[in-house]
A and B are shown apart, each in its own frame.
Chain A
Amino acid sequence: MKKEIPLAITFITGLIIIVTFFIPHQPLGTMQQRLLLWYSIVLGFTMLLGMDSLLRSNIRKIAKRSPGWPFALVLIIGFLGTLIVGIYTWATSESLLSLGSSFMYVYTYFIIPLQATMFSLLAFFIASAAYRAFRARTMEATLLLITAAIVMLGRVPIGAEIWDKFPLIQDWIMEVPQMAAKRGIVIGVALGTIAMSLRVILGLERTYLT
């Protein structure tokens, strides 16, 4: 029964989701939205699990003085600081995100700059990855290098100044071979998703049950 009940729930839920896609009549019409709402509620509760896991693992690191424990300390201080500011703002302001609130200050001057810093690193990582990918060591890499050079030149104003055909060739590369490869992958993923979903619904794929 330990396996049969979850399998039955999966089968019935999967079938309901498929049926509701084709039947707009109530009560099936809004069933999918309702199930997604339930999912959001469950997710909200599991956030507590997440917080528990985060705090426990970092407190353990501090207690054991594991390598890098000061980072764990910074995390705990940041977590508690944001939580206290959030509760204070919730108690004193109309909304957590109202302009001028303490929480908005933390969000604007701490969280956004930290996110922007991480995102800006992407430019350097793209350069290093592109350098490795475009090294003309094999036939494929050489082809990739030439194609990338044409696409880059076709997308910047100086490319058209050098040769007015660069933008046209760039368009063709993006719209024909690139699009064909992309659609091939998309169709493969779509069929793979259908097959995988069918395996889950029929109970053949049981990895998630452990």
Chain B
Amino acid sequence: MKKLFMVLTLACLMSPARALEPPADVKAVDTPNDEGSSITVSWGRSPQDQGDATVFKGYQVLRAENANGPFAEVGFVICGKSDFRDNVESHKNYYYQVRAIAFSDSSQAIAAGPATATAQWFDSSRGNVLILTIIICFLIIWYIERAKKGEELFIRKIQGLDAIDEAVGRSTELGKPIMFSFGLGEIKDIVTVAALAILRQVAVRCAQHGTELLVPNWDPLVMAAAQETVQQAYSEPGRPDLYKEGNVSFLTSDQFGYAAGVDGMMLRQKPGAVFFMGYFYAEALLMSETGHSIGAIQIAGTTAITQLPFFIASCDYTLIGEEMLAASCYLKRDPQLLGSLKGEDFIKAFLIIGFALMAVWGTAGYILNNAGNPWMMDIFQAVKNWFITG
């Protein structure tokens, strides 16, 4: 028995170790849908690559400008991966080699090429976005044109916007100022542009009633736009003398510093009404709860989904998502602007019907697929995949 064990052990030790197999089917192709600055190298994983980094290190990628070399390493890909994107100059031929690397061994290099990076004139992976954008824009413009012809358009009441007059009126009666915050929105955020329209309306009412308006800002560019908006709004009812530049001021670009500053202003100046319009993060509740504690009427509006529940809990009125973006149309009542809202509503109705149909289709497809008939499920998957952006 002892002899047999020794023979088996020796046999194991003397048998040649299995050589590390190279990656298979190495390909180097121009990266699709880019500006012509990269080549994608792909390969089939070595049979020894089981995704275990303690056994198999990964793949060494080498590049040369001639088929005969010299090849130099341009990247290393960890085990389990089978492609590499190499940044190169456009319109130049490149050759590649890929070698599998284990801890004790490396495979022979497998070559591919030549490959040339070229720029594309159209990103085909975004074709679905282009088609949907064209349809949506067409519908919105079509409804705007219909509105131009004088068609009567209905818009439902938005309580948060109707309450602007009430809030300004109450503050005036109490002899208290009004505060307006854009949160941490930047001027390039569309929600900040929408908030400027609301600020304009608030400022006009403040000028009419002679009420002080305070606008502390987090972003200096938004501050500059707000100063212009408020100044212009005060001129509309003929009260430019009431505009004070110091009331539309910059506080800080630090998130919690801004919240502390706004809270401090609220506690010292006790505004009768506070407007939170724009994009907010964690500071939303810090500010709105302070506003609630001083008994101010609070009207909030944001597209930040994570902060909406906080505003709903602590403010008197909240503009939810798209209501905020519809504010300028609602306040101006311009038929062309209302037309764009109508177009938006039409697309929403279309989407709701589409979702309902696809839900029914997908459920039926799942049942049929389980019964061995996959055609409905295949169509469902094809439609779903079409909507996934590349």
Contacts and interface: CB of A to CB of B under 8 A. Distances in A.
A115 B253 CA distance: 12
Interface string B350-371: 0100000000000000000000
A53 B250 contact: yes
A195 B340 contact: yes
Contacts of A81: none
Contact of A210 (B120, B228, B255): B228
Contact of A54 (B120, B232, B251, B268): B251
Nearest to A36: B188
A37 interface: no
Nearest to A44: B220
20 contacts: A24-B123, A26-B35, A29-B119, A46-B223, A46-B224, A50-B250, A68-B264, A111-B254, A115-B257, A122-B282, A122-B285, A129-B313, A133-B312, A191-B344, A192-B321, A195-B340, A196-B190, A196-B193, A207-B229, A210-B229
A194 interface: yes
Contacts of A195: 140, 325, 340-341, 343-344
Interface of B: 33-36, 119-123, 126, 129-130, 133, 136-137, 140-141, 144, 188, 190, 193-194, 196-197, 200, 217, 220-221, 223-225, 228-229, 231-232, 245-246, 249-257, 259-260, 264, 268-269, 282, 285-286, 288-289, 303, 305, 308, 310, 312-314, 320-322, 324-326, 328, 334, 336-337, 340-341, 343-344, 347-348, 351
Interface of A: 18, 21-26, 29-30, 39, 42-43, 46-47, 49-51, 53-54, 56-57, 60, 67-68, 71, 111, 114-115, 118-119, 121-122, 125-126, 128-130, 132-133, 182, 185-189, 191-200, 202, 204-205, 207-208, 210
Contact of A114 (B137, B256, B288, B347): B256
B340 A50 contact: no
A46 B121 contact: no
A57 to B, nearest CB: 4
A199 B340 contact: yes
Contacts of A57: 246, 249
Decide if the interface of chain A is mainly helix, strand, loop or mixed: helix
6 tightest CB-CB pairs across the interface, nearest first? Answer: A50-B220, A192-B325, A29-B35, A118-B256, A50-B250, A192-B322
A182 to B, nearest CB: 6
B35 A54 contact: no
